[in-house]
Chains A and B, each alone.
Chain A
Amino acid sequence: AQKITQTQPGMFVQEKEAVTLDCTYDTSDPSYGLFWYKQPSSGEMIFLIYQGSYDQQNATEGRYSLNFQKARKSANLVISASQLGDSAMYFCAMREGNNDKVIFGPGTSLSVIP
């Protein structure tokens, strides 16, 4: 069964606008962590933001914020004030319990239009 779902294979956003990338997850473990990574065409994986299942507040890191809706099992990434350099693949990922393994979603390709 798919543990991480990203329903948007591709997204376009105008420069300087905000964009939301969707992510839903499936786990029965009450303790888990959710990640977002950016992968530009160079291939490197760039960590963006982390949300723990017990965190009371939504995570924020600069222009990135995570809209964590635990009951809906969703962890959408919001990028504010998009920049051309934000064009990349974005992966939502999850780690369950005390396991160090991180499982990735299928990804969303974001293109920022000038």
Chain B
Amino acid sequence: GAVVSQHPSRVICKSGTSVKIECRSLDFQATTMFWYRQFPKQSLMLMATSNEGSKATYEQGVEKDKFLINHASLTLSTLTVASAHPEDSSFYICSAVQTYEQYFGPGTRLTVT
């Protein structure tokens, strides 16, 4: 099946700094990617839909100025957590769509100290 990568897999940063997470579709082009956040022992919560060449569509309650999404090419979407705080610590997972099938990345564990 199709492969989606995420980088980094783990990141620890200090409160107030910004963190960028990359999501790449390795062997296919994806016009649409999704970003999810998962807190411990909870489900995946959809944050936003990332569309190549246009602005991301954010779910209700997700701050677009805090979670900046850029879908610069058909194989790359980035999520930047601006001025991260400890409550932003979570597992961030992206997925990429190919012909209605959704393929997930391995996730990025963000810890903000």
Residues of chain A at the chain B interface (Cβ within 8 Å): 37, 42-45, 47, 91, 95, 100-107
Contacts and interface: CB of A to CB of B under 8 A. Distances in A.
A44 B102 contact: no
Interface in B30-49: 32, 34, 36, 42-46, 49
Given A43-B91, A45-B93, A104 B107 contact: no
Given A101-B34, A101-B49, A91 B106 contact: no
For chain B, give the interface size range: 20 to 34
Closest 9 CB pairs of A and B: A45-B104, A43-B107, A104-B44, A104-B43, A106-B43, A100-B97, A44-B106, A107-B43, A100-B32
A83 to B, nearest CB: 22
A56 B81 CA distance: 44
Interface of B: 1, 32, 34, 36, 42-46, 49, 91, 93, 95, 97, 100, 102, 104, 106-107, 109
Contacts, number: 44
Query: A-side binding surface: helix, strand, loop or mixed?
Result: loop
B30 to A, nearest CB: 10
A106 B41 CA distance: 9
A102 B91 CA distance: 17
B43 A102 contact: no
Contact of A100 (B42, B45, B93, B100): B100
